[in-house]
């Protein structure tokens, strides 16, 4: 199991479009991927779970991965969130 913390840098936080980006990414990995905001922990392969995090700009999320490709998944999810979702415009 691996874990890393990341700060949400996106001004509008993680709403529907960024959540979909996370789900699309995590779905490519065999391992389990979880996101945690405070004491609320969700499966990062679930769009409803991610939306339930209510992750706003400045929130610190904990990414946890567990499984065969956990290191790659951890790094890619971290990079996506840390970069502010570069494939999306700020208003998406």
Residue 87 placed within a domain: no
By the 8 A CB rule, do 1 and 69 touch? Answer: no
End-to-end, the C-alpha distance of the chain in Å comes to 32
Residue 92 placed within a domain: no
Q: Which of 7-11, 30-34, 71-75, 86-90 has the lowest mean pLDDT?
A: 86-90
E strands in 22-84: 32-37, 40-43, 60-66
**Digit-coded pLDDT (tens) for 20-41:** 999 999 999 999 999 999 999 9
Task: Please give the Cα distance from 81 to 7 (Å, whole number).
Answer: 8
Is residue 15 part of the annotated active site? The answer reads yes
Residue 90 placed within a domain: no
Can you say how many angstroms the Cα of residue 1 is from the centroid of all Cα atoms in its chain?
Answer: 16
CATH code at position 46 = 3.30.1340.10
* Residue 89 pLDDT: 79
Of the listed 2, 4, 12, 15, which one is catalytic?
A: 15
Q: What are the phi and psi torsion angles at 66 (to 5°)?
A: -150, 115
Number of domains in the chain: 1
**Digit-coded pLDDT (tens) for 52-63:** 999 999 999 999
Containing 7, the helix (H) or strand (E) segment is: strand 2-7
Q: pTM for this one? A: 0.94
């Amino acid at each position: 199991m691996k874990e890393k913390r990341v700060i949400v840098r996106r001004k509008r936080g993680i709403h529907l479009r960024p959540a979909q980006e996370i789900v699309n990414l995590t779905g490519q990995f065999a391992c389990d991927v979880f996101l945690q905001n405070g004491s609320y922990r969700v499966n990062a392969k679930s769009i409803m779970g991610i939306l339930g995090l209510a992750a706003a700009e400045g929130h610190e999320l904990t990414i946890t991965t567990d499984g065969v490709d956990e290191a790659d998944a951890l790094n890619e999810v971290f990079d996506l969130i840390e970069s502010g979702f570069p494939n999306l415009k700020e208003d998406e």
